[in-house]
Structure 1
Amino acid sequence: MELNFYEVIKIFAIFILGVSIGSFLNVVIYRMPRDLSIVYPPSSCPVCKNRIKWYDNIPIISYLILKGKCRFCKTSIPVRYPLVELMTGCAAVLSYLKFGFSVDFVFAFYFLCSMIALSFIDFDFKIIPDEINYLGLLSGFVYAGMKSYQSSSFEPLINAIIGALVGSGFLFLIAYLYLKFRNIEGLGMGDVKLLAFIGSYTGWFGALFTIFFGSILGLLASLYFMKKEKDNNLMKLEIPFGPFLALAGSVYLFFGEKIYNFYFGGF
């Protein structure tokens, strides 16, 4: 894609749109696992309860101006807030650079926003809300249905359905066997539903890649935390699997064609 002046302005505008949506994702990340409404009341400091003014709620910029502290009670604001906004802005730009202004852009960006939100929720609470997984699964089927309509072929929709079944079924089998033989819940049903969501976007091969690559990422993270905590018992570590599945699924969403071609016979 040629980057002339107008294209740079367009990308900057898309980034601004992304960070604005990232600000909303922060609300989702904080409120959804606490069973709070994500639309009301307006944002306020969780410590002093003062309502946040609009000029203190400008994505990234307000955090820098306030030096990461609440204007009223001076409580530190977690750096995660501008990080989520920055990640979402970058996700919007990457989606545009990959797909341009298209239906694909909309669904790819929605996919990445969902992955960001559920990853942070899973890190904090070890859960993945059903609302995110079910809406994501529905969006995957809608996206596949639109591609089937455009191509006059049922193949995209069938691939999405098989992807959801393969992904969730494979993880469900692992969770069932782990629980049966160790009498411990090794995987939550949130991870199983997440694979259905991811599989509806990536198809059966993408679902299997997500499990494989996500498992490698999870293992590397486990080894890191095991070394950091100086605990050699890998089984004792409780590390959420969702963020690694989300990252692996996002990689496949953008590079799936190359990964598929490489696996089945080169580029």
Structure 2
Amino acid sequence: MVPFLIIIYSAIIISFIQVAAECFPIKKPFLFRFSECNYCKKTLTFLQIIPVFSFLFLKGKSKCCKVSIPFTYFLLEIITPCYMVFLYVEFSFSQHFFIYCSIYYFLAFFLITDILYMYVPNAIMFLFFSTLLLFYLLFQLPFSTLVYSIILSSLFYLLFYLIFRKGIGLGDIKIFIVLGSFLGFKMGYFIFFSAILLGTFSLLTALALKKIKKDNQVPFVPYIFTSFILISILIT
């Protein structure tokens, strides 16, 4: 029963996060309003906003104007329930479950804002840090370890940014600092290293296939998001 409820609620939460990530950077209201088509602004019916089902039912296109729905949204609605059930099976409702869940949802938010706007909002970054700090305090985890991880992660990633600032954004660095602080520097570094590998491989492949130009900016949060999921699964 619990895994079923996790699947339902996690799909609803990720759908809301996707809407919030679309609207927040452009200061568009997303609370207490009816969902609407991103293209023609027509109000969507209930059947058009059901996670996963709506995408399949509509065959990946909006019903009103027949424009393709971004596949990223469907992918998140599939991955999220699977990942949340995995966390529950591994950790039940322990501190690891809540910390990993929080990180996942915030990274999903940043993934959307980075893809759409190449932007990582500072206000949400502050909320990200504050949420993890709250869980850290609620579960009475060692505060000295947290301080050590914050200092070490900040020094390492800020130094990396100063040296390679043309190859990575400051928003990405802030995410790495938060991950290294609350997951521990070692796990944070594994995520960082695998994200660099994934990003480099994808960029070189895209350049070889002439999908992008050499000077094009590419969102990096998708690789951080993917690396977090992979590393968190492999390490547990």
TM-score band w.r.t. shorter chain: 0.7 to 0.9
CA contact (8 A) 1:226 1:237 kept: no
Q: CA deviation at 1:67?
A: 2.5
- Higher mean Cα deviation, 79-88 or 241-250? 241-250
- Structure 2 partner of 1:12: 4
Amino acid of the residue matched to residue 240 of structure 1? P
Q: How far apart, in 1, do the equivalents of 2:192 and 2:73 lie?
A: 29
Distance 1:239 1:73 in 2: 29
- Matched with 2:223 is 244
Residue 78 (str. 1) matches residue 64 (str. 2): no
Partner amino acid for 1:12? Answer: F
Structure-2 residue corresponding to 1:213:
194
Deviations 1:72-91 (A, max 9, x none): 33333223322221122122
Runs of 4+ in 1 over 4 A off after TM superposition: 230-233
Selected match of 1:174 from 141, 160, 163: 160
Mapped to 1, the partners of 2:204 and 2:135 lie a distance apart of 37
Aligned residues: 236
Could you tell me which runs of 5 or more consecutive residues in structure 1 were left unpaired when the two chains were aligned: 1-8, 180-184, 258-267
Say whether 1:159 aligns with 2:145: yes
Contact 2:60 2:68 in 1 (8 A): yes
Counterparts of 1:85-124 in structure 2 under 5 Å?
A: 85-124=77-116
Kindly tell me: are residues 228 and 220 of structure 1, through their superposed partners in 2, closer, same or farther at Cα, counting changes over 3 Å?
same
Gaps of 5+ in 2: none
For 2:170 and 2:192, locate their aligned partners in 1 and report how far apart those are by CA, in whole Å. 15
Q: CA deviation at 1:255?
A: 4.0
Distance change (3 Å), C-alpha of 1:134 and 1:74: same
Q: 2:205 aligns with which of 224, 229, 233?
A: 224
Contact 1:22 1:89 in 2 (8 A): no
Which letter maps to 1:239? Answer: V
Determine if contact 1:160/1:204 at 8 Å carries over to the other structure.
Answer: no
Query: Retained in 2: the 8 A contact 1:214–1:244?
Result: yes
Q: TM-score, normalised by structure 2?
A: 0.86
Residue 185 of structure 2: which of 186, 204, 212 is its match?
204
SS in structure 2 opposite 1:14? helix
What letter is aligned with 1:241?
F
Deviations 1:201-246 (A, max 9, x none): 211222222222222222212221121218895xx35322322233
Contact 1:202 1:253 in 2 (8 A): no
Cα distance in 1 for partners of 2:31, 2:212 equals: 42
Distance 1:76 1:123, change over 3 A: closer
TM-score by length of 1: 0.77
Name the Cα RMSD after superposition.
Answer: 2.5
Query: Which residue type is aligned with residue 173 of structure 1?
Result: L
- Report the CA distance shift for 1:45/1:199 in structure 2 as closer, same or farther (over 3 A): same
Alpha carbons of 1:213 and 1:250: their partners in 2 closer, same or farther (altered >3 Å)?
A: same
Q: Sequence identity of aligned pairs in percent?
A: 25
Paired AA for residue 197 in structure 1: V
Q: Secondary structure at 1:148's aligned position in 2? A: coil
Q: Structure 1's 255 and 69: CA in aligned 2 closer, same or farther, altered over 3 A?
A: closer
SS in 2 for 1:229: coil
- Summarize the Cα distance change of 1:243–1:78 in structure 2 as closer, same or farther, 3 Å threshold: closer
Residue number in structure 2 paired with 1:5: none
